[in-house]
Amino acid sequence: MELYNVAVYFGTLILESLLLWRAYQQRLLKQFPFFYSYLLYDLCCASAVYSVHWIRPNLYSTAFWLYYLIGMIVEFAVLLEISEHIFQPFPVIRHLGQAVTILITVTFVLVYILPALLESHQRSAALLQFTIRASLTKAVILGAILIIVRHYGLKLGRNVGGLIVGFSIYLGVNIVDFGAAATYGRELYAKVLWALGPTSFALCLIVWTIALWEFAPNPQVRSTPMLAEGKSQTPAVEIARLNSALSRFLNK
């Protein structure tokens, strides 16, 4: 199992390096600044943490959880960036979506995530609950975004669609992984489930590498002529009208 985790670790480093190199080559860094900042953070900090594992094994556990928890917080910024790209054709709704995403995140952090660190006096149990609740919060935000996309018939480009699919794989496995650890105890987790986290992130990176190899912006919603009275409007036209109405309201 140790050999497998080392192999997956080096595989993720290669994929992250490849993604960052390709982004620099294709000038994608400015298109997804939060996402690539997250990748750079993970690449640098994971390398540092595993160096600690080999040089100072007694400090590895503390270093790993610090790196992991900060990474889980940074992932909320990636969700914010996904929301921004989806609603890019609608400036007012994009800002509204950002505000709603931030509000949901702050509310869940204060009401649902932070209490996990206070409910248990054992550090391992508190960290486990924190990771479960943070992953569930991200899943709620991602689910809300997808419901809006489906309701309004918005089309996702390859880049954003790939970000969502990769994130969904990663979050889904993490929720099952840590949920099983909380249910069945440390013994089973140490033997079986410890490999699932790195594996899910590796699968996520494979999806991201394929999806972000070339820049593919979201399909733009074209302006639609006024519909004849009595004709039903498409959801895309509805959201365009909503954006215009909000813009007029805010400009008053």
pLDDT of 208 reads 95
191: CB partners within 8 A, 6+ apart: 1
DSSP SS3 for 88? coil
Q: Alpha carbon of 173 to those of 55, 100, 139, 195, 244: distances in Å?
A: 30, 26, 11, 11, 40
Q: Alpha carbon of 79 to those of 102, 161, 181: distances in Å?
A: 10, 12, 26
Per-chain mean pLDDT for the chain: 77
Q: What amino acid is encoded at 238 in this protein?
A: E
pLDDT of 250 reads 46
pLDDT of 19 reads 95
**Domains of the chain: which residue ranges?**
2-218
- Statement: residue 27 has pLDDT above 90: no
pLDDT of 227 reads 38
pLDDT tens by residue, 1-18: 567 778 888 899 999 999
Look-up of token digits 């204060």: 110
pLDDT tens by residue, 94-140: 666 666 667 777 776 677 666 766 665 566 667 777 788 888 888 88
Helix (H) or strand (E) holding 126: helix 123-151
Other Cβ atoms within 10 Å of 52 Cβ, number: 18
Class of domain 2-218: mainly alpha
219 alpha carbon, distance to own chain's centre: 21
Look-up of token digits 């809300």: 144
Cα(131)–Cα(174) distance, rounded to whole angstroms?
A: 8
pLDDT tens by residue, 157-202: 889 999 999 999 998 888 887 777 777 766 656 566 667 778 889 9
pLDDT tens by residue, 210-229: 999 988 876 655 444 443 44
- Statement: residue 151 has pLDDT above 60: yes
Look-up of token digits 């997956």: 8
pLDDT tens by residue, 42-63: 999 999 988 898 898 888 888 8
